[in-house]
Structure 1
Amino acid sequence: MVTGTPAREWAVRALRAAPVPVALVVLVALAGVVLGRVYADPLLTRLMVGAAVGSVAVSVAARRLASWLVAPLSVAALAGWTLLSLRLAASHAALPGGLGEVAADAARNAIPRLLTAMIPVQPTPDTVLVPVVAAWLAGLTAAEVAVRAGRVLAGYLPPALLYAGALYVVGPNAEPAVGPTVLFAAVAAVGLAAPGRRPDPATDADPVAGLAPAVRAAVRLRLAAASAAGLVLVVALAALLAPVVAGQVDARPVDPRRYVEPPQVESLDENPLIRISGWALNPDQRLLDVRTVVGPAEGGPPRIRLAVLSDYDGVTWRVGATYRNAGRILPAVEPAPGATTEAVRQEITVGDLTGRLLPAVPTPREVGGARVAYDPASGTLIRPEGLVPGLRYEVSSVRERPDVNLVSTANVPAGDAVARVLRVPDGAPEQLRRLAAQLAEANGAPYARADAIATFLAEHYRLTADAPSGHAYPNLTFFLFGPRNGGGQRGTSEQFAAAFAVLGRLAGLPTRVVVGFAPNADGPVRAADAYAWPEVLFDGVGWVSFDPLPRPDSAPRPVEEDFRPQPEEPPPSEVPAPTEQPSASPPAAASAPDRARGGPGTPVLVGGGVGGLVLVVGAVLAALAATRRRLSRSRLDRGAPGERVAGAWRELTDALRLAGRPAGSDLAAAEVAERARRALAEARAATGASPADDRASDDRASGGDVGELAGLVNQVAFAPGSTTGQQADRAATLVTAYGEALRDARPRWRRLWWRVHPGPLRWRR
């Protein structure tokens, strides 16, 4: 019978050599445990454990080979395990595409997406690639140093660095890793107690047994002294460092995500509200195709939300969201108390819709077929790579219906937490403030105020598809109070939603504007289905949408009937033109002339009347000219640089109106500049001015200069706060030169009338 002595010796040697490799596997795997605390499920931890086992096993199995062969073998095994991990992660996240496409995308974007991913992180190919590769390399390096070279303590350095890196990446997004850290130290101590380099195989006896007794005693004494000194050093370090380490347990670590910029929306998506008018003019444009797999039981197809706009600066509404890379499962949000919820699952195919904003029924909970980034505050999605025709994805949402009884009695929040959606920018027109105050005074409760604003807009204004885009203060003022026969009191859902949100904030309501679609049924979602609606935030209820649009079968009432206060006496038959000059007090009525008394004759009276009329007309013209000059100086010289550039632009549009070439409000800045060039050229051609005569004027007010002014206006509109004082001075110089050139190209009497024309004093801005 075979005694099995060689096998037994091999088993003994394997058991003696096992503690160090096992310790290395555990140390690397603990880094996966620590990092997995911020992941949505344990897939990453399992993949990192597999990388730890595989890397150490390959190194141990190849320990008898030449050292230069180990790295190629291990890298080949690493490639195989990495591809398997990416395939598992892609299948787990239900991402489309082949393995090569998935691997290439993960390799390009792994680090930024890992550091910008939403917590909890979904284990997708781009969020597992770096941890898996790092775990394998740490295991390989540690095994080569600790097992092959026999330097166990030095071999602990790669797992320790990996563990520290995992702690740093987690940052403050998880509870302190006290348990894994204690286990890490304990396993490291066990590995040190059983070093990886075995004694000489010829003997297991005491290595100093063959020495002389005196020498043997001295060697053993030195070993004992060294062990005692090491023990004292370890105890001393533990006593000194333990309080420091314990004190850091509750300290909040630095979050590395603050150093990495999250995914951003394009300028096209920063304010999708301005796209409403363009869609309204192309109602048949096919933007999406929607198929509802699971839908609400009643109420028709749900609205699809595209963007939420919470920031308003008096010129434009902006998204202002912070998007984080997310996986298939999105963070859940508890529904409001009393709200009923319905599950909605839709398959959406992108058509002509462009940008990065990804449409979904609010509030999305799961997305398949597309890699997305998510903003939990607004519940909106983007696709960082942008939308392309034919993109198909599936989104599951939870649709909330607030309790009407709670809404009607709920209050609205206040304080710093909602300051963003309560902010009213400076410069709000007085008419808007008066209207908001009137609606708020008659309705005390928040819901009553919001409903009153929606009702007022629905009853007094017309919904039209050809209304020009714009929701700055001047646009809203013209929409609310402009003359009906001049284009006022009509607009698209852009103006209705923006006016509601601004009036609501002036009335103390936290509001925001939402852009989306309201399809009538499954199938194509066309541009005609796009519209905007406002929402109000209520305590204990959440965001509640309102509909300020008029009913199709209702005729709007004039605004003047319900807004402007009724005068105490009958109004005059003719309304005097408004003026910035205070009206003079009317003279006291003279008593009837006494025919018995003598008085001045008729020639004297006629001459005096004519002379007085000339003086009055001259005084009026002088006052108009002075007022016009003062208005121009206030526009060009006062205020912030952005306000001065806007004032220069108003001077340009006033000059065009004085020349009989007004620029419509629907024209872009570049189109207005082109109209200004043509107006100047035609005026010079009509007066017979030659280029040689007006060379200086051409140099000062050429079409290129007007185009430069248009560029400055666009900069103010789309990059508020970036305009400098020098640019404002340049705008003033350009518009002054252009106005003088356009005025000088007109007949002499028209030049005089140009200086005193009262139009710029009363034209609406």
Structure 2
Amino acid sequence: MLAGVLTALVGLAFGGLFAGGPAGRAALELVAAAACAAALGCLAGARLRPAPLVGLAGLAGALAFSVLVLFAGRLTDGASVVTDFGAAARDGWARLLTVGLPAAPDGDLLLLPVLLVWLAAFSAAVLVVRAEAVLAPLLPPLLGYIVALLLVASRGRSLFVLTGLIAVVGLALAVVRAAQLPGRGRIAAVAVGLTEDGPGAPGGAGASGEADQAGSDASGPTSRPGRGRSPSGLRSRSLAGAPSWRRPRAGQLAVGIPAVALMAALGTGLAVLSPIAEGNDRFDPRDHRHPPVDITSTLNPLVQVKSARGGAERKLFTVRLPSNDGKVVTDRIRTAVLTDFDGATWRDDSVFVRTGSVLGTDDTPVTTTGREIQMDVTAQAPGGPFLPTLGQPTGIRDATVSYAYQPSSGSLAATDPLRAGDRYVLTAQVPVADDPRLPDAHVARGTEILPYLALPANIPEEITYAAADAVGTETTAFGKITSLTAYLNNSTMFPVDLDARPGHSLGALKRFLDPGGVKADHHGYVEQFVTAFVLLARIESLPSRIAVGYLLDGRTSSQAGEFTVTSRQAFAWPEVALEGIGWVAFDPTDISKLKDRLPPPDPDDPTGGDGAAQAPEAQAADAVVRPELDRSADLGATGGGSGASSLWWVLLLVLLVVAVAVPAGIVGEKARRRRRRARAGPPAARVAGAWREVRDRLAERGLARSLSLSADQVADLAAARRGPLVGDQLALLAPLVGTALFGATEPDDTDARRAWELTAAASRELRRSDGVRRRVTATLSPVPLLPRRRR
């Protein structure tokens, strides 16, 4: 059973690969595989002698379990289930090393973890039955756990608690098997001899669970003629020769198992406190395996914004968002994220990975809080490759398009050409509009944030001066952000012009931000404004990135929460990473002026003319009518939890359980022994049990349990150390014990009852003479359960 529990814990480790983690459906199927494999392994190891037959039984069980459980939904497909099974077995490793975590618990991905858990559980169970080495059954589960650690990787969390549980169960299995080890050259004494299974001598060998050797000391039991078989049916058996397993002794288990549990709990706690290895930054083989996912875009998405807004209008897709009295949680959707700027153009080198229905959040540099919503997206025309997302995606379902996911940015991309009618439903955490925590928010920090602070080499001093001028005396993160936004929103200094010169290189930004430059160079459009904001923000140590996507237009809403998105709603905006909130969008571009076309500069004016003073062409309508935002979201919702806090609570719970279970186990085992000694066996055995009971009570109070002491010597020592009243009771008990062991006639039930009455009287005198502290110490003392030293 312990081997099965140990491998089930390994299955829980593999469960971390899949959605739901150790509490999900995948983990349940892995635990079921461990249980079935352990049961089959015990049966095959005991019933089938040839090793090849045992192996065939395990293989047949693994195939049957995999097909009937993992591919149950495909059994009606006929022979194709065999093809699917073969493909999963062939390609499973490659998919596990490339899929985004946590993965969907599909049979194709679960097959190899299930087979590994099955192999570990089946092998461990067979070794329990057949192997003589105590630690042999631990090897398969431990190897399986190592593989699980490699596949699961860190994902920003440690597995200290699970490792501690595996250590507890593994050590407990070792204790149980060690307790089953037989001695060599020992025989089972008869009638009142041997262990708790057969009563021992007045010296109490049986009290410690040890078998006495024939002809030991005078106080030990000896085999007498005519008593080769006891009245209770106990019979002698030889344990000499080849080792054979026997039933573990309850005393050893009652002490050994709580001891290893305590050691494992303390070891786990020390490992958590140790700065040497926190366990949350383990090696991940996925970092070294990046099979190509063909996501290509011929142009930088940022430079396509202007052409999309100025070109012919095309319907792209329809999105449906939850609506609260016509209000929605966001007024924009994102298609791409740009992080890296080399001074000439923007790009993003993050890797897209194939994933299932769960979109992992462990690789995101900042945790997003706010409201969890679902967005239903339907394509209205062929396009791609980037797909609409928002906030921090956490899941996708009902997808009719093949997709890949970029965990660091939360971007989705179609791996096949997007067709009209393709659809998916995205679940995401979205920050709340005008979050009241913004004014006091701090920027996100950590090594994952560093790429969002990176600056190109040789930044012109005009740009650095512009950052200082824009921020002024602001010192808080939000103060700097609002100052930068207001600085670039100044239409007098930086007018929005759909006909502005394209480009967002350092040279273009220098001309755009230089207050002494030509006025016409201060005209800009979305790409200049967002690039300037991100560059100035990074100079001021604000981690930021560019998001490209679309603004939602209330005029295209056919019903509450439903919007048709067209190419003329293309837009880009900067996002800043704020701790405890997530990526927050800001608008340095004046959205109300996105359609403005300023007159060309006067060629006779050497300065290029004051474009800001020139009136823009009249506009027929606003550029975008933004939907009203729902500001009533739950700020406590979050896409991630505090792993460290949970870990400490689990460790505290384990320690509390151990602190309660160990004393309770000691008291319970003593009570069980007392009842068994008083009721089991013939009168001679019950008399010997009474003597062992009183010896245990004396041992709890420091009197040695040496086998060399006769019953009279024990009575004398008790009288000297604990008073004459205790000694008198033992002096009356000693003759009964001697008669039971060495007398010519068997004691009767009256003698057995008298022996236990004297034992109870001696125990009462011991408790009466104890103080409260010694009484509690004696009650909880494990000394009677420990093996006795022979001397």
- The TM-score normalised by the length of structure 2 is 0.51
Pairwise mapping of residues 216-615 of structure 1 onto structure 2 (< 5 A)?
250=274, 251-253=277-279, 255-257=282-284, 260-261=287-288, 266=295, 268=297, 272-277=301-306, 279-280=308-309, 283-292=312-321, 297-298=326-327, 302-321=331-350, 328-330=357-359, 341=371, 343-349=373-379, 351-355=381-385, 357-370=386-399, 378=409, 380-382=410-412, 385=415, 388-389=418-419, 391-403=422-434, 407=438, 419-441=450-472, 445-456=479-490, 460-464=494-498, 470-477=503-510, 488=521, 492-506=525-539, 509-520=542-553, 521=557, 522=562, 524-537=564-577, 542=582, 543-549=584-590, 551-552=592-593
> Which structure is higher in helix share?
1
Separation (CA, whole Å) in 2 of partners of 1:338 and 1:37: 21
- How far does residue 323 in structure 1 lie from its aligned partner after superposition? 6.2
Residue 135 in structure 1 maps to residue 169 in structure 2: no
Specify the alignment match of 2:10 in structure 1: 31
Specify the alignment match of 1:165 in structure 2: 147
Q: Percent identity?
A: 26
- Match of residue 183, structure 1, among 149, 169, 173: 169
User: CA 1:391 to 1:80, structure 2 compared with 1: closer, same or farther past 3 Å?
Assistant: farther
User: CA 1:323 to 1:84, structure 2 compared with 1: closer, same or farther past 3 Å?
Assistant: farther
Residue 82 in structure 1 maps to residue 66 in structure 2: yes
Separation (CA, whole Å) in 1 of partners of 2:597 and 2:311: 25
Encode CA deviations 1:51-105: one digit per residue, 9 max, x unaligned: 23433455566645976566556444423422344347999xxxxxx97897577
Separation (CA, whole Å) in 1 of partners of 2:597 and 2:545: 25
Structure 2 alignment gaps of length 5 or more = 183-193, 195-235, 247-255, 609-791
User: CA 1:107 to 1:483, structure 2 compared with 1: closer, same or farther past 3 Å?
Assistant: farther
Encode CA deviations 1:430-487: one digit per residue, 9 max, x unaligned: 44344444434497842442232331358633442x7676422134345667999998
- How far does residue 181 in structure 1 lie from its aligned partner after superposition? 1.7
Contact 2:376 2:423 (8 Å CA) reproduced: no
Q: Secondary structure at the match of 1:273?
A: coil
Separation (CA, whole Å) in 2 of partners of 1:401 and 1:224: 70
- How far does residue 182 in structure 1 lie from its aligned partner after superposition? 1.5
Encode CA deviations 1:157-196: one digit per residue, 9 max, x unaligned: 4334223433554565322421232212323543576699
Bigger shift: 312-321 or 152-161? 152-161
Separation (CA, whole Å) in 2 of partners of 1:224 and 1:415: 59
Separation (CA, whole Å) in 1 of partners of 2:84 and 2:322: 28
Specify the alignment match of 2:199 in structure 1: none
Encode CA deviations 1:506-530: one digit per residue, 9 max, x unaligned: 4664432111122333365333222
- How far does residue 131 in structure 1 lie from its aligned partner after superposition? 1.4
User: CA 1:516 to 1:60, structure 2 compared with 1: closer, same or farther past 3 Å?
Assistant: same
Contact 1:422 1:509 (8 Å CA) reproduced: yes
Contact 2:101 2:359 (8 Å CA) reproduced: no
Separation (CA, whole Å) in 2 of partners of 1:43 and 1:136: 17
Encode CA deviations 1:562-603: one digit per residue, 9 max, x unaligned: xxxxxxxxxx99789xxxxxxxxxxxxxxxxxxxxxxxxxxx
Separation (CA, whole Å) in 2 of partners of 1:415 and 1:385: 32
Encode CA deviations 1:674-706: one digit per residue, 9 max, x unaligned: xxxxxxxxxxxxxxxxxxxxxxxxxxxxxxxxx
Q: Which amino acid aligns with 1:256?
A: F
Separation (CA, whole Å) in 1 of partners of 2:70 and 2:520: 59
Structure 1 alignment gaps of length 5 or more = 1-21, 92-97, 197-205, 207-216, 228-234, 562-571, 577-765
Encode CA deviations 1:319-352: one digit per residue, 9 max, x unaligned: 3546677654556799x99997473432444843
- How far does residue 30 in structure 1 lie from its aligned partner after superposition? 3.0
Separation (CA, whole Å) in 2 of partners of 1:551 and 1:271: 25
User: CA 1:187 to 1:311, structure 2 compared with 1: closer, same or farther past 3 Å?
Assistant: same
Q: Secondary structure at the match of 2:463?
A: helix
Separation (CA, whole Å) in 2 of partners of 1:338 and 1:31: 31
Contact 2:332 2:552 (8 Å CA) reproduced: yes
Specify the alignment match of 2:28 in structure 1: 46
User: CA 1:560 to 1:174, structure 2 compared with 1: closer, same or farther past 3 Å?
Assistant: farther
Q: Secondary structure at the match of 1:401?
A: coil
Q: Secondary structure at the match of 2:160?
A: coil
User: CA 1:326 to 1:398, structure 2 compared with 1: closer, same or farther past 3 Å?
Assistant: same
Separation (CA, whole Å) in 2 of partners of 1:221 and 1:73: 34
Q: Which amino acid aligns with 2:170?
A: F
- How far does residue 111 in structure 1 lie from its aligned partner after superposition? 3.2
Q: Secondary structure at the match of 2:490?
A: helix
User: CA 1:83 to 1:281, structure 2 compared with 1: closer, same or farther past 3 Å?
Assistant: farther
Contact 1:458 1:549 (8 Å CA) reproduced: no
- How far does residue 532 in structure 1 lie from its aligned partner after superposition? 0.7
User: CA 1:475 to 1:121, structure 2 compared with 1: closer, same or farther past 3 Å?
Assistant: same
- How far does residue 399 in structure 1 lie from its aligned partner after superposition? 3.0
Contact 2:548 2:572 (8 Å CA) reproduced: yes
Separation (CA, whole Å) in 2 of partners of 1:82 and 1:527: 48
User: CA 1:283 to 1:262, structure 2 compared with 1: closer, same or farther past 3 Å?
Assistant: farther
Contact 1:534 1:545 (8 Å CA) reproduced: yes
Q: Which amino acid aligns with 1:136?
A: W
Separation (CA, whole Å) in 2 of partners of 1:275 and 1:101: 45
RMSD: 5.5
User: CA 1:551 to 1:278, structure 2 compared with 1: closer, same or farther past 3 Å?
Assistant: closer
- The TM-score normalised by the length of structure 1 is 0.53
- How far does residue 548 in structure 1 lie from its aligned partner after superposition? 0.8
Separation (CA, whole Å) in 2 of partners of 1:114 and 1:338: 27
Separation (CA, whole Å) in 2 of partners of 1:411 and 1:55: 52
User: CA 1:109 to 1:353, structure 2 compared with 1: closer, same or farther past 3 Å?
Assistant: farther
Q: Secondary structure at the match of 1:427?
A: coil
- How far does residue 546 in structure 1 lie from its aligned partner after superposition? 1.5
